[in-house]
Amino acid sequence: MAKIKKKIRTITVNADKCNGCRTCEVMCSAFHAVPPYSSNNPGRSRIQIITDRLGDIWLPVFAGEYTEAECMGRNKYIIDGKEYRECDSCRASCPARDLFKEPDSGLPLKCDMCDGEDEPICVKWCLVDALSYEEREEEVEEEKPNMTQMEIGLEQFAKKHGLQTVIDTVTRMAKKG
């Protein structure tokens, strides 16, 4: 396989700086509203603050890939005297929890790094610099194309409502406009 240059975009989370203000959630939700900044529903945010207020734990986690199967990870980790469950730092949208699912449709959400912006909105608005952004180029093996978000969404609708219902609905919508 050929090597290509790929832009790698990463957000680093410093959980020790996070104070749980949730500005990142609010701004992410507003940015991804249609049209942008027209509404706010933190349930639609691609970043969620996993919290244990009594333990003074605030952990920003970004939405990752969708997975159909619930993992078996139930381990606990102690970092700087604070206890974290394995699910706390998991980025997957999975059947085990309601995080990173569109509230109305149940479709999985994934962080897109606010594509088209200079840097992700959550990083721009983080008041305590708990989030930082880095962009670099790396030489990587060329990947096979993945399913698009549209394909993933349609597949989930087909599983929930049946393929024929989805086909009939798309056909009816195509005739309207």
Q: Report d(CA 89, CA 87) in Å as an integer.
A: 6
Sort 23 into a burial class: Cβ within 10 Å, 0-12 / 13-18 / 19+: middle
How many domains does one find in the chain?
2
Task: Name the residue range of residue 29's domain.
Answer: 3-141
**Whether residues 95 and 161 fall in one domain:** no
**Whether residues 117 and 52 fall in one domain:** yes
**Whether residues 109 and 122 fall in one domain:** yes
Give me 36's structure tokens: 């942008």
Task: Answer yes or no: pTM beyond 0.75.
Answer: no
Q: Is 1 helix (H, G, I), strand (E, B) or coil?
A: coil
**Whether residues 120 and 40 fall in one domain:** yes
- Report pLDDT digits (tens) over 87-141: 766 777 777 777 888 888 888 889 999 998 999 999 999 999 999 999 998 887 7
**Whether residues 72 and 15 fall in one domain:** yes
Q: Is 119 helix (H, G, I), strand (E, B) or coil?
A: coil
- Report pLDDT digits (tens) over 9-30: 999 999 889 999 999 999 999 9
**Whether residues 33 and 110 fall in one domain:** yes
**Whether residues 50 and 113 fall in one domain:** yes
